[in-house]
Structure formats: structure tokens, C-alpha cells
């Protein structure tokens, strides 16, 4: 069974939760009195729950650029990375600003899984759901220096070496689920090492600390094209146009691969008029050329669901993730 008890590389989940408790214990939270017709009338605070360079960071900054370029938000937008605790720090910040329609964030797999691991004080159901914009699948990658050319060579190597050290973003995130399912179905053992940001993850593999990682195509494609890392498998439903020789997990006989939800949320208790405003604006965003280019460049699958439909998607995905993590023994 994979080891999930290794500490996070940056801020551990317990430390992040301690910081969150300190913040919420000070009575944080906002109730604004404003005319709904005047919204938005203030500057916006955009929280990214992970470090620079990963899929969450790339999408958030793309959205902010589009909002600014097309004058879709009439005031300033301040973007801040609040990484730590597999997203607990960033989304905990939204929790501490409950009711405030001027704080937003984006989702990933950890938005569903982090509350399953520890007492965060929130679950995905607590927040105000604006919309799902896309889903993000994973590439399975090994260092070029390993000399492993395809999935068959990897599974033979992993079975002979075992347990192999593999990495991903977050402790019980989509990355862990994919790594655990691939290992179980292919018949090798892993030691899973979680990281808070993409740069640290890739550095750990290039330094020889990890045998393999999983990463979003948008985060890893530069290193793939540069020849530093070798892609062996893609977890999406179809092969990537940019990597036509890399098979899907299904082609190699693997099933149950899960995707990361890339969506937009507001804090718990945000007013309906704010959610409706954001739905209207994001409908415009996803029609822009810049958004289409982002989807293509980062190899995402567009999946658009607004409001209550996004809420239903999160519930279904959360139930699936929880069942898988319980099956793996990663959560109780």
C-alpha cells in the first residue's frame, strides 16, 4: 500500500490548518451592505490555493488577464498565491471571508479531497459555486536519464525495483488517486511523495529523488518538448494531439482515472447577485479567443457547467474520490 504520510514539501497540512484556525478564531468573515445593482463596486482579491507554475496558477492568471484585457471587471484585481496544506491555506482564506463577494478562487482536485484527510472546517459543499470551466488530466512522466521508453518498460522496472518513489501535487489529491490506481492495476508498489507546487515536484524528479511523477500537460509540456522528461501515459479519454505517440491509460488496460475540476468559486454565503454576476461574466470569458487558446495550449477538456450544475458535478466527483481514497486506505 502506498505511503501517504510523508510531509508536504512547503507547508504541512497541520501547519496550514493551525494558521486557518488562528485566522477564523479572530472573528474573520464579512457581511457587506451594498446595492446589488452596484456590484461590483470594489477591488477584487483573487486567491490561488497553490504555488506558481501549476495548473491552478496558470488558469487563474489566464482568467485574470482575460478579465483585464476585455474590461470585464471594472476595478483592480489583486492576485496572490496562498499555497500550503494541499489547498487548505488558500480555500481556508475564502472561508475566513465568508459572505464577501470580493474574494474569489479556483478549484482543483484538492478542493474535493483535502477535507477528507483532515478537519479543515469546510468541504466543497460550503462554498458558492460559480462554474466549472474545464477538466484537467495527467501525464505520467519519468526523467529522460532513466532511459525508460514506454509504459511496458516502466512497469517492468517498477515491479523489479519496488517500491518506487513517485510524486504529485497534494497528499490525497487526484495525483495520488491516479498513482495508486496505476500501481495497483499494473502490479507494482509505490511510495507517494506529495508536493505543494509544480517547480518543486519537477526538481525532485530531475535531482533523482523521485522515479516518476504525474503532472498536468500544461505544466509539463515545456520540459517534455525540451527532452528533459519522458511521457509514458496520458490519463485522458483520447491521446493528446501534441503527443500522438503517448498512449492513454485505457489503451494500456487501466481504468478509473479521474480528472481535476477547473472551476471558479466564491466564499461561503456570498450573495446570489454576486454569483449570478460572475456566471454572466464567465459566459463571456469562455467565448474569448484567449480562453480558446488557453484550452488548446494547456490540453484541457472543456466542460462548462454553471451554478447548481457545477454543485452537482462537485458532489458526484467528491463521492467518487472519497470512495477511491477509502479503498486505498488513504483516508478513514
- Whether a cis peptide bond, with omega within 30° of 0, leads into 163 is yes
User: What tens digit of pLDDT does each residue of 264-313 get?
Assistant: 999 999 999 999 999 999 999 999 999 999 999 989 999 999 999 999 99
Residue 330 has pLDDT above 90, yes or no: no
Tell me, yes or no, if the two domains 13-135+260-328 and 139-234 fold the same way: yes
120 φ, ψ to 5°?
-80, -20
Note the helical H segments in the chain: 13-25, 55-69, 88-96, 110-117, 151-161, 174-186, 198-206, 217-225, 272-285, 289-298, 308-328
Q: What is the mean pLDDT of residues 202-221?
A: 92
Contacts of 86 (CB under 8 A, 6+ apart): 8, 13, 16, 110, 113, 114, 117, 169, 170, 171, 172, 173, 194, 196
CA distance 310 to 245: 34
Name the residue ranges covered by the structural domains of the chain. 13-135+260-328, 139-234
Strand 77-81 with 44-48, pairing: parallel
Q: What is the mean pLDDT of residues 27-31?
A: 49
Helix (H, G, I), strand (E, B) or coil at 38: helix
Residue 166 has pLDDT above 90, yes or no: yes
The architecture CATH gives domain 139-234: 3-Layer(aba) Sandwich (3.40)
Give the CATH fold of the 13-135+260-328 domain: D-Maltodextrin-Binding Protein; domain 2 (3.40.190)
Counting every residue written for the chain, the total comes to 332
Instruction: For residue 137, give the H/E element and its range.
Output: none
Amino acid at each position: 500500500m502506498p505511503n501517504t504520510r510523508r510531509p508536504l514539501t512547503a507547508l504541512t497540512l497541520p501547519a496550514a490548518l493551525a494558521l486557518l484556525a488562528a485566522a477564523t478564531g479572530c472573528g474573520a468573515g464579512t457581511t457587506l451592505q451594498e446595492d446589488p445593482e452596484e456590484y461590483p463596486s470594489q477591488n477584487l482579491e483573487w486567491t490561488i490555493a497553490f504555488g506558481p507554475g501549476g495548473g491552478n496558477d496558470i488558469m487563474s492568471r489566464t482568467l485574470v488577464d482575460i478579465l483585464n484585457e476585455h474590461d470585464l471587471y471594472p476595478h483592480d484585481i489583486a492576485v496572490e498565491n496562498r499555497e500550503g496544506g494541499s489547498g487548505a491555506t488558500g480555500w481556508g482564506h475564502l472561508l475566513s471571508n465568508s459572505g464577501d463577494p470580493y474574494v474569489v478562487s479556483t478549484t482543483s482536485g484538492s478542493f474535493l479531497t483535502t477535507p477528507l484527510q483532515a478537519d479543515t472546517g469546510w468541504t466543497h459543499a460550503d462554498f458558492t459555486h460559480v462554474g466549472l470551466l474545464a477538466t484537467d488530466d495527467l501525464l505520467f512522466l519519468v526523467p529522460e536519464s532513466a532511459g525508460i521508453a514506454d509504459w511496458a518498460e516502466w512497469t517492468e522496472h517498477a515491479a523489479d525495483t519496488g517500491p518506487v518513489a513517485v510524486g504529485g501535487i497534494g497528499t490525497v489529491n487526484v495525483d495520488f488517486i491516479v498513482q495508486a490506481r496505476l500501481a495497483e492495476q499494473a502490479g507494482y508498489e509505490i511510495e507517494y511523495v506529495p508536493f505543494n507546487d509544480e517547480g518543486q515536484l519537477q526538481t525532485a524528479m530531475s535531482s533523482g529523488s523521485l522515479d516518476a511523477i504525474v503532472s498536468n500537460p500544461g505544466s509539463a509540456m515545456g520540459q517534455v518538448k525540451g527532452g528533459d522528461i519522458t511521457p509514458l501515459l496520458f490519463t485522458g479519454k483520447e491521446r493528446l494531439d501534441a503527443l500522438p505517440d503517448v498512449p492513454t491509460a485505457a489503451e494500456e488496460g487501466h481504468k478509473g482515472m479521474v480528472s481535476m475540476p477547473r472551476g471558479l468559486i466564491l466564499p461561503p454565503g456570498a450573495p446570489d447577485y454576486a454569483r449570478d454576476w460572475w456566471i454572466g461574466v464567465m459566459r463571456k470569458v469562455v467565448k474569448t479567443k484567449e480562453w480558446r487558446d488557453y484550452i488548446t495550449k494547456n490540453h484541457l477538456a472543456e466542460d462548462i457547467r454553471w451554478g447548481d450544475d457545477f454543485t452537482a458535478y462537485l458532489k458526484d466527483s467528491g463521492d467518487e474520490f472519497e470512495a477511491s481514497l477509502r479503498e486505498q486506505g488513504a483516508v478513514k
